[in-house]
Structure 1
């Protein structure tokens, strides 16, 4: 019995070239090659944590002159952190440019609750980390009140935040 393949001939080298083109495209997009040879700036990584009633936002900004190149501002209930990281030196070897450190402008925005003002915000830069503290974001009245689930054998008891009432 003979098997006939119609319409195309499988060429392992053509398939390999197509796979390499796909791989190159993925690498270019991941490392800022993009289309047209333009590169994009970087987006600094951020951690947002709670510390009591405060919120602490930590951004990784190594190689940034925070005093000159970083702005922290409140704009329409949003915390906006923007700036610029200067381009690092270029290393060229055998006609190949190697650059892994991103440079350029960046901007990160974080939603703020109603009523938070710039007076409640402190920013500090140390060892490549920008720490922005938003004080008194969670007020005692905003904290959740625990509600017990009522079952057939016991009535529900509501915790009113330690006032001693049931």
Structure 2
């Protein structure tokens, strides 16, 4: 039989530790996921022998409302999803509207001039051909006297 008094704060400590862990894991993203601002834009990135393929889910976006910029190994997606006008009163509002900006770092450099983008069934698909990697070679050292 325990002789100590019950301390409610000791009971909350494990709960706080679990909440802290949940918060850390939900806020920290891997580097490949990129920086996000505004409304969330989830992406998938695939790699083939020739290119990186980025698939971004942007429901309600029109091609003219999305900007794509490539610089070195960085892809930036930005734009705006405009709120639809409806007659009447909203009963349920789960979709998000507003501006977005997503910056993604590819594993290697890409050829920006050959990049292509299209909307396929509401998903933005960006194909970024890989830049040719310079071959390594041995460099002879001259002797200068």
Interval containing the TM-score (normalised by the shorter chain): 0.5 to 0.7
CA drift of 1:78 comes to: 1.8
Q: Give deviations 1:41-91, integer Å, cap 9, x for gaps.
A: 42111000112221100001121111x100001246421111100013464
Q: What is the SS of the residue equivalent to 2:130? A: coil
User: Following the alignment from structure 2 to structure 1, what is the Cα–Cα distance between the partners of residues 130 and 46?
Assistant: 13
Moved over 6 A (4+): none
Count of matched residue positions in the alignment of Structure 1 and Structure 2: 102
Structure-1 residue corresponding to 2:39: 42
Question: Does the CA contact (< 8 Å) of 1:120 and 1:136 recur in 2?
Answer: no
Q: What is the SS of the residue equivalent to 2:127? A: strand
TM-score by length of 2: 0.57
Alpha-carbon distance change, 51 to 44 in structure 1, aligned in 2, over 3 angstroms: same
Structure-1 residue corresponding to 2:84: 88
**Structure 2, unaligned runs of 5 or more:** 6-36, 137-145
CA drift of 1:138 comes to: 6.7
Structure-1 residue corresponding to 2:15: none
CA RMSD of aligned residues (A): 3.2
Which protein has the larger Cα radius of gyration, Structure 1 or Structure 2?
1
Alpha-carbon distance change, 92 to 122 in structure 1, aligned in 2, over 3 angstroms: closer
TM-score by length of 1: 0.50
